[in-house]
Structure 1
Amino acid sequence: MGESTKITVESNSSLENAMKVAFATKDMQTINAHFGGAKEFVVYKVSKDGFELSEVVKTDTSEMVGDDKTDFKVKALKGINIMYCESIGGTAAAKVIRGGINPMKVQEPRKIEDVLKELISMLNDNPPPWVKKVMNIQTENDPRLERWSVE
């Protein structure tokens, strides 16, 4: 049967409204693993104020077959808001989404730190509504709000 190990990093930080973002990685620095083949996911808390390492989730599904691997990984990543990977199949992506995780594919291997910095920039600009919902951010200065306002 598969094994899952979660290594949690203790922190004194107080990142408010932080979301948890996981990265499928082979080297802890780069998004360079396929979701199904990833043996570890490095997880960061990300907010408008910055990011910090939260945990490492190690998933060994080498002795599992078929859909059991995907179900196992989704369960191991419970509580994650966004998961970045190099690639993911359609069926696996559907299961990840049903598990409450937003899967994101990168076109080529990318440095995790670069993506974290882009996320912070996006959060401080105008994040999409689904990210605002995840992070409990009030919607301000959204031109679409005028359509719904009562005069």
Structure 2
Amino acid sequence: MFKIAFASKDGELVNEHFGWCKKFYIYEVDENSYKLVQEVDSSIKYEEEVDKLEYKIDCISGSDIIYVTQIGPKAANMVKLAGVFPMKSSKEDEKIEDVLKSLQKLMNDNPPLWLKRILLK
């Protein structure tokens, strides 16, 4: 089982940039099921970029993956250092449910190395 945070405006689609996201939707996922476990308000604004990124990372603490439309290189590095695997959506307005199902399929078939590492945590 692992936790994945989605950057979303509506809880249905992946449609937010990591640094601009006002709400994260966190799911628990295993081979057979997934469920929404938390909606995290991440709307506090910070002047300094590093402060903003640290705040966003705090908002997704406990997650293993962050799934976004965009994430800058600095943010991606900070996220990785915090132990979270950053992933960018492959298409515009991708459905959260589709992402969850494709991750389950990966888990059940032949998980890639990055997913194996997350599952072994």
* TM-score normalised to structure 1 length: 0.75
* Ranges in structure 1 where 5+ consecutive residues have no aligned partner: 1-17, 138-151
CA offset digits 1:76-130 (Å, max 9, x no partner): 2111101100101100100000010001011322000010010111100010123
Higher relative contact order (CA 8 A, sep 6+): 2
Return the letter of the residue paired with 2:107. Answer: L
- What percent of counterpart residues are identical? 39
Which residue does the alignment assign to 2:12?
A: 29
Alignment of 1:2-151 (within 5 A): 18-107=1-90, 108-136=92-120
Runs of 4+ aligned structure 1 residues displaced above 6 Å come to: none
Aligned residues: CA RMSD: 1.4
SS at match of 1:54: strand
* Residue 13 of structure 1: aligned partner: none
Counterpart of 2:116 in structure 1: which amino acid?
K
Find the aligned partners of 2:74 and 2:115 in 1 and give their Cα distance.
23
Aligned residues: 120
**Ranges in structure 2 where 5+ consecutive residues have no aligned partner:** none
Q: Please give the alpha-carbon distance, in whole angstroms, between the structure 1 residues aligned to 2:118 and 2:86.
A: 14
TM-score (norm 2): 0.92
Q: Distance in 1 between matches of 2:3 and 2:54?
A: 19
- Secondary structure at 2:98's aligned position in 1? helix
Q: Based on CA coordinates, which of the two structures has the bigger radius of gyration?
A: 1
For 1:97 and 1:41, the matched residues in 2 are separated by 17
